[in-house]
Structure 1
């Protein structure tokens, strides 16, 4: 399949065409996958032992591009052009005419016939003069000279024996030097609010236990509380907008565990305890086909659904990274033992109508590279607030969060909840893992080639997974929480109720 030339305007320190620094991995991949002729091949590189703490790289070999995202937030931090013959990049200064980095090919010549940019062209015509660059020595006599502008840099190969701080490097490179790559970056972390990134997105979800979660807005101190059993669909839509889709819940694969609970003798989990294992497969509602229960996500259809909610359904917020179950009221989980002296806001009002529709469950998606549901949702960051050691800002990093390996998280959860069990044996019985294989259904399919285990981008970046997704996960339940955990120990999703 041939690709059309990627043509984009350079915005130093900000963007290359529609690729905007600070955009989420989910947004970028969704946009790229929507244009398979323009982007025929997508490669995803990540460190399989640390998929949510180390950077994630998206390679577009047919377009000569490489995109680097940070692990925890999955935000675009670096855009690299590594092959100038496979794209057309131009720069348009204010009140000036457009300037081409490389003259676009005419009448479809071969890729090899497209010229590459030179140091002289970049320095004199494309961006203009700048301060002296930086030389980076490599192995042997190899080295790199980095010519930097605000928000953009060019990397030129240069031998160490040819470089000297006393030499006129501009004159040395002006003859015929060609850069091996160009990088667009920003020194601002996090990136400031801009029109290309939604200012109202949810950047963090704090789990307080007892059926209470707090959703924080990015770039602000504003937050929105969800009280399970009390918050209405109207309040959700007023705060978050209409959902991207609505899914009618009909999965009954865990029903046998309800039957077992009803027939078991004393000492086994009761109905309330079993809620932590009930409907565990709901952590991936968005993986189903439209024929399995999806409603149209067109705006009018969504608004009609919101206004006329009938029965149990999920509000899918793909671009916020979570799903909300709306149903008739159920009793929220018990508050954690350590939270008795930490008051949280009460819901604005309470209704006694048993048939009203309210939020009863929240599913937070990790969007872990290599996992079965990868790129269905944006990554949602969270922390378990009641496991923190206090309200002091200095202890903030000690609060277990979405990047904490599950074995470490499990240890703190066991310590928190040990007082509610009659014995250690009972605790182990109720906290044991349950294996779930998502690959036994229809595969979601993907045009992304998954690779993992790399150490250095661009140099044998790693082994290819056997299969494109890790479909077998383990579920662990605690009061008010169900974790879906990958073999690496990363949490793929957490259900809060």
Structure 2
């Protein structure tokens, strides 16, 4: 295994590990180099995986990365073992390789990290006094830690309680013969560690600024989607960085050309071919069938491994009224893994009805007269990238808000971090007027269990894409090695007008389809 070699950028990053980068981006990069990063341990709170921080341990490399839960942005980089990575600052080694004589004469712990003298004289220079943390009660060693902070970077030195005195200056404390080398290092955004830790997971970090500073504009960063606001009637407001105006996706109207012009070309194109949920579609009492011999067409731009690349016959049921997915009509998904969502491109249909509390934007629900002859965005799937879920790390996490559910006094905005129990209650209140009675509402909004373990997932009614076998947090083996365990297990689908939620057993929304 080759050592991970990286430059330190205080307040910005460690090599390609950049503060503000998404969990999806970091995991994708690490998984691309299994020889250098052979082991990835993901730690998250089972009951609240999108609210509490997510920790990614790299034990082979001596690193630990901390991400916030809602945005899944890298907030803190920790070096826990200096000997397992080759780190430099302005081309100077943080831990100088020992000579043969030093290896033979010096105690091993002395060579485990940079000394204060090396940090002070060769790397960073003088700084303000640090912070001493007393040993825990009952600690027989009596060892506390002294945290020495510089802007954007801090070092932790073991220091016994008997050696600590507030009257001693930092040079006297850490340069004495009894002092120990640094045991860990942290890279963060802030002037000092005491200042940064108070707002570590809530401060705003713009990855564009960090990337530009480190790579000097050589690697342009696309304008990320920060939030998707759902306004009802198939209207979605795509919010991007502050200086970039929002972009509106109007289902049934927005063309593929408009999507590509604003969002860029899709990362992949998925040709729909799964019809296992078509039985749940509403059908008229009588229908005339016609048999046509249509086959799936191969497309060189179809880079999604879960797409069908072989020609297959379509059944009578699949051919009716142009409902065939992936046929010559050109119906397909635009996969935007970097943005965190997929968009179904198909022939237009009347968008979902207007929420009762909102004035209709299109009172007559008119589809343009030339609509049948062109393709438009008809559905959007927003992915939660929930740790432990079956599709984890296929997409970056996409945050959303349901704008038409205006919060009353004491209520929070319904968003991607809201427990589904709360989301369900608010939606019940919004849509209860369209049903005859409570029983009808319960029947129409009951859940449907979705099993992710048996091959590819269904892909028609709710457009849930399969093919996540290679993702982190997907297929795992229990300690006995006798059976497979799939993260958080089966999910349940809940439908409301214009919305389909995929909900995990812990009540977290894993995905949201807007149509």
Partner of 1:178: 181
Are the structure 2 counterparts of residues 291 and 106 from structure 1 closer, same or farther at C-alpha, using a change threshold of 3 Å? Answer: farther
Secondary structure of 2:373's partner? coil
1:120 equivalent among 117, 121, 141: 117
Partner of 2:427: 413
Secondary structure of 1:470's partner? coil
How far is the alpha carbon of 1:219 from its aligned partner?
A: 3.0
After TM superposition, where is structure 1 displaced by more than 6 Å over at least 4 residues in a row? Answer: 344-347
Partner of 1:297: none
The number of equivalent residue pairs is: 433
CA contact (8 A) 1:23 1:76 kept: yes
CA contact (8 A) 1:199 1:218 kept: no
Partner of 1:86: 84
Partner of 1:217: 240
Q: Are 1:359 and 2:377 an aligned pair?
A: yes
Partner of 1:467: 485
Partner of 2:413: 399
| CA distance, structure 2, for counterparts of residue 231 and residue 195 of structure 1 | 33
Are the structure 2 counterparts of residues 477 and 40 from structure 1 closer, same or farther at C-alpha, using a change threshold of 3 Å? Answer: same
What is the CA RMSD across the aligned residues, in angstroms? 3.1
Are the structure 2 counterparts of residues 345 and 53 from structure 1 closer, same or farther at C-alpha, using a change threshold of 3 Å? Answer: farther
Secondary structure of 1:325's partner? strand
Return the index of the structure with the highest Cα Rg: 2
How far is the alpha carbon of 1:320 from its aligned partner?
A: 0.2
Which sits farther off after the overlay, 168-177 or 245-254?
168-177
Partner of 1:33: 31
1:386 equivalent among 399, 404, 419: 404
How far is the alpha carbon of 1:119 from its aligned partner?
A: 1.6
Greater share of residues in helix: 1
Structure 2 gap ranges (5+):
191-195, 197-202, 212-219, 287-301, 311-327, 457-466, 476-482
| Higher-RCO chain (CA-CA 8 Å, sequence separation at least 6) | 1
Query: TM-score when scaled to structure 1?
Result: 0.81
Secondary structure of 2:265's partner? coil
| CA distance, structure 1, for counterparts of residue 127 and residue 470 of structure 2 | 43
How far is the alpha carbon of 1:469 from its aligned partner?
A: 2.2
| CA distance, structure 1, for counterparts of residue 488 and residue 308 of structure 2 | 22
How far is the alpha carbon of 1:388 from its aligned partner?
A: 1.6
How far is the alpha carbon of 1:340 from its aligned partner?
A: 1.6
Secondary structure of 2:121's partner? helix
Secondary structure of 1:29's partner? helix
How far is the alpha carbon of 1:162 from its aligned partner?
A: 2.6
How far is the alpha carbon of 1:355 from its aligned partner?
A: 2.3
1:319 equivalent among 338, 346, 361: 338
Residue by residue over 1:382-411, the C-alpha shift from the partner in whole angstroms, topping out at 9 and shown as x without a partner, is: 000000238xxx99x822000001001110
| CA distance, structure 1, for counterparts of residue 71 and residue 97 of structure 2 | 36
2:497 equivalent among 470, 475, 479: 479
Are the structure 2 counterparts of residues 370 and 37 from structure 1 closer, same or farther at C-alpha, using a change threshold of 3 Å? Answer: same
2:66 equivalent among 65, 68, 74: 68
How far is the alpha carbon of 1:160 from its aligned partner?
A: 2.8
Partner of 1:48: 46
Partner of 1:376: 394
Partner of 2:7: 9
Structure 1 gap ranges (5+):
93-97, 265-285, 295-308, 452-464
Are the structure 2 counterparts of residues 228 and 154 from structure 1 closer, same or farther at C-alpha, using a change threshold of 3 Å? Answer: same
Secondary structure of 1:158's partner? strand
| CA distance, structure 1, for counterparts of residue 235 and residue 309 of structure 2 | 28
| CA distance, structure 2, for counterparts of residue 492 and residue 242 of structure 1 | 25
How far is the alpha carbon of 1:353 from its aligned partner?
A: 3.3
Partner of 1:336: 355
Partner of 1:445: 469
How far is the alpha carbon of 1:431 from its aligned partner?
A: 0.5
Are the structure 2 counterparts of residues 383 and 481 from structure 1 closer, same or farther at C-alpha, using a change threshold of 3 Å? Answer: same
2:132 equivalent among 132, 135, 142: 135
CA contact (8 A) 2:233 2:355 kept: yes
| CA distance, structure 1, for counterparts of residue 65 and residue 155 of structure 2 | 16
CA contact (8 A) 1:43 1:450 kept: no
CA contact (8 A) 1:42 1:447 kept: no
How far is the alpha carbon of 1:330 from its aligned partner?
A: 1.0
| CA distance, structure 1, for counterparts of residue 471 and residue 423 of structure 2 | 33
